Amino acid sequence: MEAFINGMSAISPQNTFAEETLLHDVKEYCDVRSLRCLEPQYSGFIDPMVSRRMSRIIKMGVCSALKCIRDSGIKEPDAIITGTGMGCVEDTGKFLASIYENEEKLLNPTPFIQSTHNTVAASIALILKCHGYNNTYGHRGFSFESALLDAMMLLKEEQAENILVGALDELTPDLFAITDRLGFWKKETINNLHLNDYKSRGTIAGEGTAFFSLSRLKSEKSFATINSVKTFLKPVSLQNLENSLKESGEPDLVILGINGNTAGDEVYNEIRRGILKGVPAAWYKHLCGEYDTSTAFALAMAAGIIREQRVPEIMKLDNVPVAGIRRVLIFNHLRNVNHSAIMVSSC
Amino acid sequence: MAEKVHITGAGIISSIGLNYNEVLASLHASAGGIGKMTLLDSIYRDVIPVAEVKATNEELKSIAGTGAWGVFSRTSLLGIIAAREAVARAGIEDISEFSTGLISATTVGGMDRTERFFRHYLKDKNHGRLRDVITHDMGDSTEKIAEACGITDYVTTISTACSSSANAILLGSRLIENGILDRVLVGGVDSITLFTINGFNSLMILDKNGCKPFDEERNGLTLGEGAGFLVLESERALNKKGKRVPGTVTGYGNSCDAFHQTASSPEGDGAFLSMQKAIIKAGIAPESISYINAHGTGTKNNDLTEGKAIERIFGNSVPPCSSTKAFTGHTLGAAGGIEAVFSIMSIEEQCLWPNLNFNKKMNELGFTPVTELRKNIKVMNVLSNSFGFGGNNTSLIFSKF
């Protein structure tokens, strides 16, 4: 199974939405504990009459999806598949709060209607009038990977020629406050670009949306290929994980989900000492923060690196020279429970 | 040639029974599960009926046999009970013998515990017990079920509102057909929460007298809770055991109505497309459908548009059709799984399940649902519909093996 990438668009704490070249102008955030997306002007993409009813995550998701479609040159995808770890958190919280604040009386249904995980995939279909296959995954650090696997299967089954696949997760003040109490985040404020220098527990919170236009056949628009997607739930041992990674073959570059959390990063370090020994390594979470679907941001980086045949300095973890980047492996884990590996190559 | 998708086990828990046999007995007795709200502290307790699973969380914990190994939402307890039953009924002793996956579905996940957390958190951001919020996300119940059943090879969760578990069955079937997994546990689970009661109530689509699907005087849905799971197996897994196969998944279709976030298009375009795709996939003629287990929520909008879409597919010869939601209530993310189990029961028992609470034919439709239990019917292919918010429509076809 494979899928060609013909277009992509990401809204993130970096300038990914507007930039022509990958990480041309890196955004540095000082004294922060979380990163928020740089939101674009939506009016060029979504009718203001429509967008005023949308929550922030719906706007970000729909906008990046529509730009992705525009860039890929296709008119309408045959299928729309999304992944989101936490779904539409703002609307969920808003409706939940209204239940208690109004003692269950005279509630505004809009946040309830827009609270379901499939809201963004459905909104895109509604705008594009796309009656094709439509699905949404919501499973922690597997959400985006599951959407990708579904898309690759649909292409193999020849049920679709072009598929829009995307991921979305938003950070709200309540989500930050609650996960902070759960100990997810570093207690000190940091400079994001030096995330890896703060050797302490936790990481920085992030968010983002990223969409990809995938096709079954290679076209003149194709600039990268997704070769495989693997997920591992609580791998019993590092050995098992390594054996499985080995099957994908040796990459020219590995992009790791290192996030500055000393305990969790040990997994990456061991793999770098093990099967990935000598493989040039890069990282990305200092650019976007930690969230359930951060691997979608990593995929945008990997595809960009392959397209431009250049690893942005800010992503490099070592000085191992990289030449001829044909195969890039993305390896990530979310809180040491959801591990995933995505292999991307030139096409 | 794609792998055939064999159904070897089914497990269920709902307002009409805590396991397969209890549920089957209720279906045979036409005994519905809608009643007074007893488990939730809502101002609508005496006003809005629901279809609760008749067990407290403590009772569910003891049935699930979870002991002390973690924090469980009601959703994960319901899921574990039905999923384990499906595995047991499939006669699986060693789950790791074949590559095995779990595709679960839910719409509100651990919201039942989140609500306990949130009422305290709202007053003070440092309040609310953290153990009540760690089960909030959709993946939590799935990972609990995976752990309870010993599944690690492929685990994920689908969340497409009320069609969620139908999509889980669709995905599981494709994973078998593509040779990615040999075995997959598929289904879904949801529990009744203040969030969903108030959500549907704010939309003014909860029937104060209990739902009456496909009735001219229907006035909304009734919320239910529960879980339904199937074990799907490939030829390879099957050969090893030579086991009983109650049915197969032969058809599936997923489409988007792309009309409105909550309302369906007037002619049921999305519903028409998903049924049409499923019938084409099954490679059968529409007249080969023996029974339709309709989505039939009891809302004005759903039953009208689903009915019209059914008539567009079947013309004047609509097969026997019923909605079982007057038995179980609308179990949201579990509905597709629960109704898949009903479809398998229909094939196994060669029976059609009645559409309870039906009195008056809808003016706009030419057909009326099955209103009484029908026995000794040749049930070969069952079409099951699940439609959700966002126009996410999925139809499945289950066939006799």
Same domain as A309, residue A165 = no
Same domain as B185, residue B134 = yes
Number of continuous H segments (helices) and E segments (strands) in chain A? 11, 10
Q: Compute φ and ψ for A340, nearest 5 degrees.
A: -145, 155
Q: Which domain holds residue A141?
A: 3-223
Same domain as A313, residue A173 = no
pLDDT in tens, B239-279: 777 788 999 999 999 999 999 988 899 999 999 999 999 99
Q: What's the mean pLDDT when you consider all of chain B?
A: 96
Residue A247 binned pLDDT confidence (cut-offs 50, 70, 90): confident
Cα distance from A243 to chain B (closest Cα, Å)?
14
Same domain as B288, residue B234 = no
Same domain as B261, residue B183 = no
Residue A274: predicted pLDDT: 92
Residue B1: predicted pLDDT: 54
Distance CA B201, CA A292 (A): 31
Q: Comparing C-alpha atoms, which of A103, A123, A107, A8 is closest to residue A55?
A: A123
Domain count, chain A: 2
Number of continuous H segments (helices) and E segments (strands) in chain B? 12, 10
Chain A with chain B: Cβ pairs closer than 8 A: 182
Contact A337, A139 (CB under 8 A): no
Distance CA B306, CA B270 (A): 9
A233 and B256 within 8 Å at the Cβ level: the answer is: no
pLDDT in tens, B202-215: 999 999 999 999 99
A134 and B175 within 8 Å at the Cβ level: the answer is: no
Same domain as B262, residue B225 = no
pLDDT in tens, B32-89: 999 999 999 999 999 999 999 999 999 999 999 987 678 999 999 999 999 999 999 9
Distance CA A94, CA B195 (A): 11
On the question of pLDDT at A154 being above 70, the answer is yes
Contact A232, A245 (CB under 8 A): no
Those residues of chain B that have pLDDT short of 70 are 1, 68
pLDDT in tens, A265-274: 999 999 999 9
Q: What's the mean pLDDT when you consider all of chain A?
A: 96
Same domain as B270, residue B187 = no
Interface test with A, best of B104, B184, B205, B261 (most A CBs within 10 A): B261
Other Cβ atoms closer than 10 A to B127: 11
CA dihedral B72, B76, B81, B83 (to 10 degrees): -140
pLDDT in tens, A89-105: 999 999 999 999 999 99
Q: Tell me how many degrees the CA angle B47-A117-B175 measures, rounded to the nearest 5.
A: 115
CATH number of the domain bearing residue B200: 3.40.47.10
Query: Of the candidates A186, A201, A223, which is a domain's last residue?
Result: A223
Q: Are strands A162-169 and A79-83 parallel, antiparallel or unpaired?
A: parallel
Same domain as B86, residue B11 = yes
Query: Of the candidates B241, B270, B290, which is a domain's last residue?
Result: B241
Same domain as A159, residue A232 = no
B143 and A337 within 8 Å at the Cβ level: the answer is: yes
Query: How far, in Å, are A165, B167, B270, B319, B321 from residue B286 at the CA level?
Result: 33, 22, 17, 9, 13
Same domain as B106, residue B86 = yes
Q: Report, as an integer, the average pLDDT of A43-66.
A: 96
Same domain as B356, residue B230 = no
Percent of chain B exceeding pLDDT 70 equals 99
Other Cβ atoms closer than 10 A to B287: 10
Residue A243: predicted pLDDT: 83
Query: Of the candidates B197, B212, B241, which is a domain's last residue?
Result: B241
Report which DSSP code applies to A76. S
Domain count, chain B: 2
Report which DSSP code applies to B95. G
Query: Of the candidates A223, A239, A268, which is a domain's last residue?
Result: A223
Query: Of the candidates B185, B206, B241, which is a domain's last residue?
Result: B241
- Report yes or no: A105 at the B interface, CB cutoff 8 Å: yes
Same domain as A237, residue A204 = no
Same domain as B269, residue B197 = no
Distance CA A291, CA A335 (A): 10
**Residue for token digits 């004005």?**
B300
Query: Of the candidates A191, A223, A255, which is a domain's last residue?
Result: A223
Distance CA B151, CA B208 (A): 41
Residue type, B148: A
Q: Comparing C-alpha atoms, which of A69, A81, A71 is closest to residue A166?
A: A81
Residue B292: predicted pLDDT: 98
Residue B2: predicted pLDDT: 74
Same domain as A339, residue A317 = yes
Same domain as B180, residue B317 = no
On the question of pLDDT at A296 being above 80, the answer is yes
Residue B257 CB-half CA count within 13 A: 30
- Report yes or no: A99 at the B interface, CB cutoff 8 Å: yes
Residue B35: strand, helix, or coil: strand
Distance CA A290, CA A304 (A): 20
Percent of chain A exceeding pLDDT 90 equals 92
Same domain as A22, residue A67 = yes
Alpha-helical segments (H) within A24-116: 48-51, 56-72, 89-101, 110-113
Same domain as B217, residue B258 = no
Q: Is residue B248 part of a domain?
A: no
Instruction: Supply the Cα-derived Rg of chain A in whole angstroms.
Output: 19
Residue A199: predicted pLDDT: 86
Report which DSSP code applies to B29. T
Interface test with A, best of B156, B169, B193, B275 (most A CBs within 10 A): B156
Same domain as A284, residue A204 = no
Cα distance from B241 to chain A (closest Cα, Å)?
27
Residue B68: predicted pLDDT: 66
Same domain as A28, residue A69 = yes
Same domain as B277, residue B212 = no
Same domain as A216, residue A91 = yes
Same domain as A144, residue A47 = yes
Q: Which domain holds residue B61?
A: 5-241
CATH number of the domain bearing residue A239: 3.40.47.10
pTM (whole model) above 0.90: yes
Same domain as A251, residue A181 = no
Same domain as A108, residue A12 = yes
Cα distance from B297 to chain A (closest Cα, Å)?
17
Question: Which of B137, B160, B269 is opposite residue A135, by nearest beta carbon?
Answer: B160
